[in-house]
Copies of this chain bind each other. A is one copy, B any other.
Amino acid sequence: MTALKNDCFIRALLRKPVGYTPVWMMRQAGRYLPEYRRVREKAGSFMNLCTNPELACEVTLQPLDRFRLDAAILFSDILTIPDAMGLGLHFIEGEGPRFSRPIRTDEDINALIVPDPEEKLCYVTDAVRLIQRELQGKVPLIGFSGSPWTLATYMVEGGSSRDFRKLKAMLYDQPDLLHVLLGKLADAVAAYLNAQIAAGVNAVMLFDTWGGSLTTGQYQDFSLHYAERILNQLKLKQNGQVIPAILFTKGGGLWLEAMAATGYNALGLDWQTPISEARRRVGGKVALQGNLDPVALYASPESIRGEVKKILTDFGQGVGHVFNLGHGVHPDIHPEHVGAMVDAVHEFSPAFHCNG
């Protein structure tokens, strides 16, 4: 394992002093970059890009050439696990992901097998090893997975959904069956993240994109419980290094205390909750990652600089902040606007750290 030349991101996640606030961006390897679109075109399909370690490595590294980012994130998709479970993932242009064999019945769920990541998802671990070889310790590499609840939304609905009616009907009418599904998914996610860790990622993040659609109570029972079950299975020490774990629930502002009590090192924040309020509520326990509204990147670079400064000021002095968007960057954002955000973090943030 190559020593990290820039460990600012890892230190911030562990709430250790840093000289400036580290910054990366959800979906930083993606469609808003013309160089990404060229590789995507060469790959032929989104799944070809995900499953080709060389191409996945290439697009993972692209944003680092453009922007002074403090972390890379593995290029992949959250739906690789259900695909490895045999659901037949494919993407329909302009409509997003679809599964050929969605999961609806007792039989479907009981037949699901937790995949061995080294067998079924070796394209991901191969990509991790390749990226780490190329990165040479320049910045940390983040591995990730979708949360069980979020994966279940796609698996039961058969693709993207706005309201998760089939999955929620299962939650209300067959909660025990849903728990079987979520338990299997939690074990699959844990094995998958452990394989990413063994292959060399420096931090892991669990994306609970759709946890915010639940009521309080449902969130704790059907989403957070499984995030905790995953964490308890993770091997978060490798060669004497701690691998920090980040939990992100979009729309989870009401539940930060419960999230912070699980043992994740950091919480991802969407843009609704002020980072000062989040810090007051849970900042003594966890680092906070966020939380510029991704739609703010449609504004002018001057406005973006102002918004970055506001968030840094709102967090204030001290440890435990990783700058990020509150959700993924939109595909039609101008790369210069991303640059304005990243540069502003580097320009303004040292003032908020003692040993800058």
A residues sitting closer than 8 Å to B (CB atoms) are 163-166, 168-169, 172-173, 212, 214-217, 251, 253-254, 271-274, 277, 293-296, 298-300, 303-304, 306-307, 330
Contact = CB atoms under 8 A, between A and B. Distances in A.
B271 A215 contact: yes
Contact of A169 (B168, B217, B273, B299): B299
19 contacts: A163-B295, A164-B295, A166-B298, A168-B293, A168-B299, A169-B299, A172-B296, A172-B298, A172-B299, A172-B300, A172-B303, A172-B304, A172-B307, A173-B299, A173-B300, A215-B271, A216-B272, A216-B273, A216-B274
A295 B168 CA distance: 7
A138 to B, nearest CB: 32
Q: How many copies are assembled? A: 2
A277 B168 contact: no
A294 B330 CA distance: 29
Contact of A274 (B166, B217, B294, B298): B217
A245 to B, nearest CB: 25
Contacts of A165: 295, 298, 330
Given A172-B303, A172-B307, A293-B168, A272 B163 contact: no
For the residues of A in contact with B, the DSSP-based class is: helix
A207 to B, nearest CB: 18
A272 B211 CA distance: 10
Nearest to A303: B172
Nearest to A217: B274
Given A165-B330, A253-B254, A272 B215 contact: yes
Contacts of A293: 168, 215
B216 A173 contact: no
Given A172-B299, A215-B272, 10 more contacts: A163-B330, A164-B295, A165-B330, A168-B295, A168-B296, A172-B300, A172-B307, A214-B272, A215-B293, A253-B254
A99 to B, nearest CB: 20
Nearest to A292: B215
A272 B212 contact: yes
Nearest to A307: B172
